[in-house]
Amino acid sequence: MIKAIVNISLKAGVLDSQGKAVHHALESLHFNAVKDVRVGKQIVLQLDCDDKKKALADVTKMCEDLLANTVIEDYDIELV
Amino acid sequence: MIKAIVNISLKAGVLDSQGKAVHHALESLHFNAVKDVRVGKQIVLQLDCDDKKKALADVTKMCEDLLANTVIEDYDIELV
């Protein structure tokens, strides 16, 4: 079993309205040290596979095909 | 400036319908090695603060007060 952690975030320059809303809410709660907030997704996959190289190739394909919108999102993959 | 990365995930045992939908979609695309999928959030905060101890305390309070629903979600904080 390999655990793959995929972090998906909006590319720099893409408007993050969810992040802006969270930032505004934190300011309302008087957390004034916060200068920027970006909200992304974290997808944790359990793979029935023992070959890390194959797992990385598979998860990369999953990201390209389904998990990430590569026009506006970046992803990074960590295998545990 | 301190960068805080907050990963928020559903607690074990809480039904993750988004994860199930992603799992099903991956199976439809013939990624048969996938055994489980959990979908969480990743929030990246830029803090105008140089004291890591204070930053950690602040971000913990943000999680408890706003970012996470601690009844059904776990969070972990990483300072960079």
Partners of residue A45 in chain B, C-beta under 8 Å: 34, 36-37
Q: How confident is the model at residue A61 (pLDDT cuts 50, 70, 90)?
A: very high
Instruction: Give the one of B31, B42, B48 whose C-beta lies nearest to A40's C-beta.
Output: B42
Cα dist from A24 to A39, A41, B19, B58, B77, whole Å: 13, 20, 28, 16, 20
Give the chain A residue nearest B75 (alpha carbons): A42
B51 and chain A: CB distance < 8 Å anywhere? Answer: no
Q: Is A38 on the interface with B (CB under 8 A)?
A: yes
Answer whether A38 sits within 8 Å of B43, measured CB to CB: yes
Question: What would the pLDDT profile of A2-57 be if each residue is shown by its tens digit?
Answer: 999 999 999 999 999 999 999 999 999 999 999 999 999 999 999 999 999 999 99
Q: B41 vs A39: CB contact, 8 Å cut-off?
A: yes
Q: For each of the domains in chain A, give its residue range(s) and CATH number, in order of start.
A: 2-79 (3.30.1280.10)
| Separation of alpha carbons B7 and B43, rounded Å | 6
Grouping H, G, I as helix, E, B as strand and the rest as coil, residue A17 is helix
Q: Does B20 touch chain A (CB under 8 A)?
A: no
Mean pLDDT within B1-18: 96
pLDDT of residue B13: 94
Q: Per residue in B14-56, pLDDT tens?
A: 999 999 999 999 999 999 999 999 999 999 999 999 999 999 9
Interface check B12 vs A, CB under 8 A: no
The ipTM assigned to this model is: 0.91
pLDDT of residue A48: 95
Residues ≥6 apart with Cβ < 8 Å to B17: none
